[in-house]
Structure 1
Amino acid sequence: MSHAAPKLNAFPVFLKVEGQVVAIVGEGEEALAKARLIGQSAAALRIVAAEPEAALAAFIAGHGAVHIRSAYAPEHIEGAAMVFAASGDAGLDARISADARRLGIPVNAVDRPDLCDFFTPALVNRAPVAVAIGTEGAGPVLAQMIRARVDRMLSPSLGPLAALAATFRDAAEKLLPKGAARRRFWNEFFAGAPARAMETGEVSLAHDAAAKLLAVDAPVRGHIALVGAGPGAEDLLTLRAQRLLMEADAIVHDALVPEAVVAMGRRDAERLPVGKRKGCHSKSQDEINALLVRLGREGRRVVRLKGGDPLVFGRAGEEMAALRQAGISYEVVPGVTAAFAAAADFELPLTLRGVTSSLVFTTGHDLKGGTLPDWARLAISGATVAVYMGRSVAADVAGRLIEAGLSPDTAVAIVENASLAGRRRFHGTLADLPSLSGRGDLSGPVMTIIGDAVAGANFDRSEPLAAHRHRHAAPAAQGVFS
């Protein structure tokens, strides 16, 4: 037995208001909120306020609204397309509502659903595109929360792109056969080269790219986005990364990228795990390069999802070189690298005025040679060093730095699973660092920060490393997670 879908009591419509009068009666915050909302449209605002509060008066002056500076009278709303009763006075709002209904004008009385003919939505404005979220007056806060989520999903350049699309509509219908060819054109228009050009403000380039797409048999060009997935927490993904994931046909991701981040992509996108994790099959870098080139040549929109930032120990250089050589279009989207997430978890200033003004990123794996790496010299001269390392190299890092002259008392902060709810924080000194190698209880990506600036961190939720200096477990190799 099927159940009927719930019915809407208020049906959403878009009312033409260009050049039409919208009247607002009120003097305070409620009237200002409605004025700001309607001010996003091309309506002519008429505001009835005998003694407007300062913010409302400033809005009226700044937006050229017609101001009727007197107590409300029915003639003030005559000829309006819509009326807002926003006086904050229950009796007056009821009078305004009754007058509007008598005059056949739709009315909204703020916070009084029984006096409303319509409800104002939470609005995402990408003119000429608009997304309106309504709850029939039941949950304004919920509507605003949904609005914020939708707003993050839509590129700021969507409005200009939609306006450009309107200028190509007739030509597309004339030159492209109905069906797959026309659909392909519009898909590529809104997710391909025209959209990317508009994203960077290159309007003429977007126009030229759209014109090229009109060639009837033009092959669909693939595009690869090398996207930083951040340190693990899905809400540290950038807005651009989220949009690209929603547009992708295929998501090529490292094993260390959490499922919650991969799941932010389109549900029907092909998922291709390629990353490196102990005990799992992984593709070589050459195989990954070849896969990206193949997908690009197939005309696919691909997100190559890398932990942290693609350009920090992410081997993006090799992938970009392969794509350039193959003539495949690509872009790079930065991500929050693990050093920044670990520092945030510790409330740790990576640079500190009067203490250190330089920062080094390293993996620590270059300590095996006879000569001291340049970053070690920088550490000795006062730089903060962020080490993307497995536990197995902790003793080498500490030993070589102490041997080179860095004080054994230099502060150290370590984070396992930076940014995630289950993260663990440890603190101590360089002399304590070798104990990390024997910590069999650490299975997640480990980030270590060394330097005098570490002393300014918040250690309230951190465990001292010294407590584990005499405990040993079998060392386990740990992958770098940038």
Structure 2
Amino acid sequence: MSTSYAKIEGGGSLLLAWQIKNKKVLIVGGGNVAAQRIVSVKIGDADVTVVSPKDGLIPEVEDRIAQGEVHWLNRRFRDDDVEAMDMVLTAMDDHKESLRIGRLCRRLRIPVNVADVPDMCDFYFMSQHRDGPLQIAVSTNGRGPKLANMIRSEVIQSLPPQAGDMVYYMGILRSKVREWEPEISQSSKRMRWVTQLCEAWGLHGMGKWASAAAKDPALVDRLKPFYDSNDIPTLEMIL
């Protein structure tokens, strides 16, 4: 008996939330693109080093160096700069040198992004929205960065205003549920109950709950009797 499954459409990217906390990231260049890259990787708490002569730094990058947010090598790139690096990002005007650095990283199996050269990128930077623990990203796989920004804006407008708080308090609720019933054997029950709660209240209901929980954290614990009895309360029963 044969089973028909949906055809897998290739040509995309593997979208991941890459955990780079304390990972060593090298950024080659000190201009506007470098400034954007610094923000992108520091959001993930990476250990960032910028290599660029002083005359190649824009004020924003200079300020981040002065504040100690990134390390700085005041010179041009050297091949041994990539040693012990977990990620390399080129953000410079010298196209030939950028390609050379990209090829070097490929040989050494170091993930690399060469600005504005999609074929030399092991990964792309997506158009992002950040609201506390909530991160939303849109990728066009290097084909249309401006279009990605436009799509992201449309998506953001559809979210409830408390979206970030909603994610934050959902994380607290999940931790509480694990405290209420920590046995591994109950993991399916925990997941099912939290899922059913989200579906019953919907995004806007979860947003109202999160706004109220921000003022009264005890609202999270008010859900425990319903979890214990495996019931899903209405939002009105909690608020």
Instruction: Choose from 14, 18, 22 the match for 1:19.
Output: 22
1:168 aligns with 2:165: no
**What's 2:7 paired with?**
4
Cα offsets for 1:178-225 (capped at 9, x unmatched): 58644343446774777325437x6251x21121122225663356xx
Q: Is the 8 A contact 1:124 1:150 kept in 2?
A: no
Distance 2:144 2:101 in 1: 24
Distance 1:62 1:158 in 2: 31
1:195 aligns with 2:198: no
Match of 1:24, SS? strand
Match of 2:38, SS? helix
**Aligned in 2, Cα 1:56/1:198: closer, same or farther, shift over 3 Å?**
same
Q: How does 1:262-273 map to 2 (within 5 A)?
A: none
Give the stretch that moved more between structures: 151-160 or 122-131: 151-160
**What's 1:257 paired with?**
none
**What's 2:233 paired with?**
220
1:124 aligns with 2:129: yes
Distance 1:27 1:169 in 2: 42
Distance 2:215 2:124 in 1: 39
Match of 2:225, SS? coil
Query: What are structure 1's unaligned runs of at least 5 residues?
Result: 224-298, 300-327, 330-482
**What's 2:94 paired with?**
89
**What's 1:159 paired with?**
164
**Aligned in 2, Cα 1:63/1:143: closer, same or farther, shift over 3 Å?**
farther
**Aligned in 2, Cα 1:156/1:82: closer, same or farther, shift over 3 Å?**
farther
Normalising by the residue count of structure 1, what TM-score does the alignment of the two structures yield? 0.41
1:134 aligns with 2:145: no
Query: What are structure 2's unaligned runs of at least 5 residues?
Result: none
Q: Is the 8 A contact 2:209 2:235 kept in 1?
A: no
Give the stretch that moved more between structures: 69-78 or 166-175: 166-175
Q: How does 1:334-353 map to 2 (within 5 A)?
A: none
Identity across aligned pairs (percent)? 21
**Aligned in 2, Cα 1:46/1:180: closer, same or farther, shift over 3 Å?**
closer
**Aligned in 2, Cα 1:222/1:33: closer, same or farther, shift over 3 Å?**
closer
Larger Rg: 1
Match of 2:102, SS? helix
Q: Is the 8 A contact 2:160 2:204 kept in 1?
A: no
**Aligned in 2, Cα 1:47/1:154: closer, same or farther, shift over 3 Å?**
farther
Cα offsets for 1:272-306 (capped at 9, x unmatched): xxxxxxxxxxxxxxxxxxxxxxxxxxx8xxxxxxx
Cα offsets for 1:3-24 (capped at 9, x unmatched): 8353134211221101111111
In terms of fraction of residues, the more helix-rich structure is 2
Q: Is the 8 A contact 1:77 1:100 kept in 2?
A: yes
Match of 2:137, SS? strand
**Aligned in 2, Cα 1:146/1:21: closer, same or farther, shift over 3 Å?**
same
Cα offsets for 1:351-372 (capped at 9, x unmatched): xxxxxxxxxxxxxxxxxxxxxx
Q: Is the 8 A contact 1:60 1:67 kept in 2?
A: yes
